[in-house]
Amino acid sequence: MDAPEHYRHSELEVAPPFKVPCKPLSAQPDLSYSGGSSYQAPEKMRTIWGLRFTTFFLILALILVILAAGIGGGVGGSMAVKSARNSNKAISAATTVSALCAPTTSAPCYTSASASAFSVPTAGTVYLNCPAIDKTILSVTLETTSAFTVTCGEDFGPGGVDIIAVTVYTIEDCARACASYNLNWHATICKGATFNSYLAEVQASYGTCFLKNNTAGATLSKYQSYAGLSLN
């Protein structure tokens, strides 16, 4: 029997290692497929201030509508106020102010004037029905009723009795001024008043109605342009 043949290791050759071909790292992978279409990255959505176009323009339209409504309301309100003022002027212009004079007086008489253009009279004599109203009672009702005794030609004084001088054009308004003074002070401070219907003395005397804190020292005048009011 023949002995097996032995190989010598020194005579064997080592096969060279298998090398796998590598692509450069910079190379991009081929993503194409047999269908013929190539892959495309999704397009970035366009925005304005972080908002989509449609959202941005909807908000802008809403703001414009609100601004238009505000401006329209302001203009409409101004026109309404102007219209109301013009209406009030028209009503005032249609009003007539009359000042009657005593038939027996020789002073200038102011009978009527249009309220659209008139000046307060500073001369002449306004209506005072003396001596017909002498010793009569003139009542004025505010919160309560104040009764005054009228004395034609009467004045109160002298000195230290005047509270204030005001300009009125009727003896009724003079009595009302006295009653109003007491009402405001919650006390009977005004005890009477003197009304002077002769307007030429307004400048020198500062008024036509003189409120009095007492009725002492009453004097009578021959002129019928004066009338005294004594609070009862």
Note the pLDDT tens digit of each residue in 100-133. Answer: 455 555 555 555 554 455 677 778 888 999 999 9
Percent of the chain whose predicted confidence (pLDDT) is above 70: 56
User: Is residue 3 a part of any domain in this protein?
Assistant: no
Does residue 147 contact residue 175 with C-beta atoms inside 8 Å?
no
39 pLDDT above the threshold of 60: no
49 pLDDT above the threshold of 80: no
Assess whether 102 and 217 both reside in one domain.
yes
User: Is residue 4 a part of any domain in this protein?
Assistant: no
pLDDT at 93: 37
Assess whether 145 and 210 both reside in one domain.
yes
The amino acid occupying position 15 is A
CA distances from 25 to 22, 39, 140, 187, 195 (A): 9, 21, 113, 109, 118
Q: Which pairs from 212-217 meet CB under 8 Å and 24+ separation?
A: 212/156, 212/161, 212/162, 212/163, 213/161, 213/162, 213/163, 213/189, 214/156, 214/161, 215/156, 215/161, 215/191, 216/156, 216/161, 217/156, 217/157, 217/158, 217/161
The number of angstroms, rounded, from the C-alpha of 116 to the middle of its chain's C-alpha atoms is 25
The amino acid occupying position 36 is G
Q: Please, which pLDDT band fits residue 58 given cuts at 50, 70 and 90? A: confident
pLDDT at 186: 93
Assess whether 81 and 179 both reside in one domain.
no
pLDDT at 150: 96
Separation CA 75–CA 78 (nearest Å): 5
Assess whether 81 and 173 both reside in one domain.
no
For residues 36-41, give the mean pLDDT. 54
Query: Which tokens hold the place of 70?
Result: 């505000």
Higher pLDDT, residue 89 or 226: 226
User: Is residue 7 a part of any domain in this protein?
Assistant: no
User: Is residue 12 a part of any domain in this protein?
Assistant: no
Assess whether 121 and 193 both reside in one domain.
yes
CB-CB neighbours of 183 under 10 Å: 14
User: Is residue 39 a part of any domain in this protein?
Assistant: no
Last residue within a domain, chosen from 30, 59, 92: 92
pLDDT at 67: 82
- Please, is 124 exposed, middle or buried when counting C-beta atoms within 10 Å of its C-beta (0-12, 13-18, 19+)? middle
43 pLDDT above the threshold of 90: no
Read off the pTM: 0.50
Assess whether 117 and 73 both reside in one domain.
no
Assess whether 87 and 134 both reside in one domain.
no
pLDDT in tens, 154-212: 988 766 688 999 999 999 999 999 999 999 999 999 999 999 999 988 888 889 999 99
pLDDT at 159: 61
Assess whether 195 and 111 both reside in one domain.
yes
When divided into structural domains, the chain yields a total of 2
Domain extent at residue 178: 96-232
